[in-house]
Amino acid sequence: MNIKEIVEYQNSLNTKTCGEDWVKGVCSKTNRNINWYLAIHMEAAEAIDCFPWKHWKSVDSGVDIDNLKIELVDIFHFIISQLITSTGIETTTAILEQYIKSNRNVKMFDWENYIIFNLEKLSLHAIKENINFILDTFFEIIGCIPGFNIEELLKIYIGKNVLNEFRQNNGYKEGTYIKLWDGKNEDNVFMLEIISDMDTLCFDDVNKALEDKYKKLIQGV
């Protein structure tokens, strides 16, 4: 799946979730205003919590790198959505293609504090509703995380979307869905394991793998 397909998919997903008027900033299904900038701001805070920054807690746990990647993918969802709202599908695709083309990985000695600093910047840019600075900061973050790159970002984007739909189809709204698949780890962890074993991803294959694993869980196998 290339970036054009991802942008089109995000548009379809938002339409399915919020109705045809989502690009006007209204969710017709819940009768609420849509605020992508606020969503980016909140997800940036959750991403910071993947780091052991709290001086009053143990700092020996290290960075929850897998969850950090998930949070960044969530931010990416909201960035795409805001871009579509502001510029349309074609321009959004062109903008993201340019960022992806120019993005590069940079090795840094103190990458943890640097990422926290940039997540704070990202949060501030979201409050100021400055999409250009958000894009600059977001892709800089992607390039500074060891072992992470654009290809994995897009791969996890696909996996997370399949998982979100899988949740909805298995009782998430009704409160019957089991999110902790082994009693301590969330389904996100197992989704990452599933897609890491796949050379190429398609929605149907990821969904089938999730179904098989979840079926064994609820059957106690």
More confident residue, 2 or 218: 2
Whole-number Cα distances in Å, 176 to 25, 66, 160, 164, 184: 31, 25, 20, 15, 17
Judging by beta carbons within 10 Å of its beta carbon (0-12, 13-18, 19+), is residue 43 exposed, middle or buried?
A: buried
Domains of the chain from N-terminus onward: 1-148 (1.10.4010.10), 151-221 (no CATH)
pLDDT tens sequence across 110-161: 999 999 999 999 999 999 999 999 999 999 999 999 989 999 999 999 999 9
Q: What percent of the chain has pLDDT over 90?
A: 64
Exposure string for 129-147, b = 16+ CB within 10 A, e = fewer: bebeebbbbbbbbbbbbee
